Amino acid sequence: MMNITPTVKQLLIINIIFFIGSLLVPISNQYLALYNPEDDFFKIWQLFTHMFMHGGYMHIFFNMFALYSFGSALEHFWGSQKFLFFYISCGLGAALVQLGINHLEIQHLLNDTTYLNLSESTLRQILNATISDGDNYRPDLFEKEIRVILESSSKLNLLNQDSFNALYKAAQQVQIPMVGASGAIYGLLIAFTVMFPNAELALMFIPIPIKAKYFVPGLLVFDLYSGVTGQSIFGGASGIAHFAHLGGAIVGFLIMWYWKKNQFNDNRWN
């Protein structure tokens, strides 16, 4: 087993510090998780900080295990600066892709509300109205708030069930934040597969070793299916940002393609 490399070690420590901090100071999620630009909590730095936040013990465990397993091998060959550039680039790319997909989904939902002719400020108020009590989604709380908003703009009498449902779903899309290093990790998976396609991966949940060139594309197909359908292959609804995974993988592939084209694969930056 390869020894842990310096930048991977530092990233592990930073992620663990952020995770413990988010448990001790829950309000930190409001500032460091990635919210949609339509959300009042959105801050530009969240594009960077979200990749150090995680949603639970298993979430951070699997991401950090993958960071150690694949990141150490890549940093060993690339050097610290090149590795860190790649990791952060994939994380940022993942965030931008997921935000772009979310924006398209929100606009699609809002197509059913165009007849309301809501102003930009009114629509923003509605999309930031209360959607849960902290533990459960509460359409009744959302309805109570938006009725006041629509009444003040003389639009309440135009609201019907279809437009209410569309606004509520759009508000959920806006207000649910994204956290995790998964986008950056998927970039590492792509880079590892490009460099070591025949490496056999012994995964804890699969009894036989699988070559990277087969496992990683299969994982991407799973994410594409789940991202498009909103369902897990194994059943149930998905709360995972699958398009962020795909975004990180795409950015990772493009960087590897560029480096290979320019013969940077064998050149360390430090």
* φ/ψ of residue 31, rounded to 5: -105, -25
Q: Which token pair is 52?
A: 């150090």
- Give residue for tokens 């995790």: 180
In angstroms, what CA-CA distances link 224 with 3, 25, 111?
33, 34, 25
SS3 state at 210: strand
SS3 state at 204: coil
Gyration radius (Cα) of the chain, Å: 21
Q: What is the mean pLDDT of residues 65-72?
A: 93
pLDDT 10s digits, 10-43: 999 999 999 999 999 999 999 999 999 999 999 9
DSSP per-residue string spanning 69-88: IIIHHHHHHH-HHHHHHHHH
SS3 state at 187: helix
pLDDT 10s digits, 163-192: 999 999 999 999 999 999 999 999 999 999
Q: What is the mean pLDDT of the chain?
A: 89
Q: What is the mean pLDDT of residues 98-121?
A: 93
- pLDDT, position 269: 56
Determine if the pTM surpasses 0.85: yes
Per-residue pLDDT band at 267 (split at 50, 70, 90): low
Separation of alpha carbons 168 and 126, rounded Å: 9
57-61, 86-90, 203-207, 253-257: range with lowest mean pLDDT = 203-207
pLDDT 10s digits, 197-249: 888 877 655 667 888 888 888 888 888 887 777 665 544 445 677 888 999 99
Instruction: For the chain, give the percent of residues with pLDDT over 90.
Output: 69
Separation of alpha carbons 7 and 195, rounded Å: 19
Return the number of other C-beta atoms located less than 10 Å from residue 7's C-beta: 20
Q: Which token pair is 163?
A: 């437009």
Beta strands in the chain (DSSP E): 200-201, 210-211
Domain boundaries, the chain: 110-175
- pLDDT, position 237: 44
Provide the residue type at 260 as one letter.
K
Provide the residue type at 15 as one letter.
N
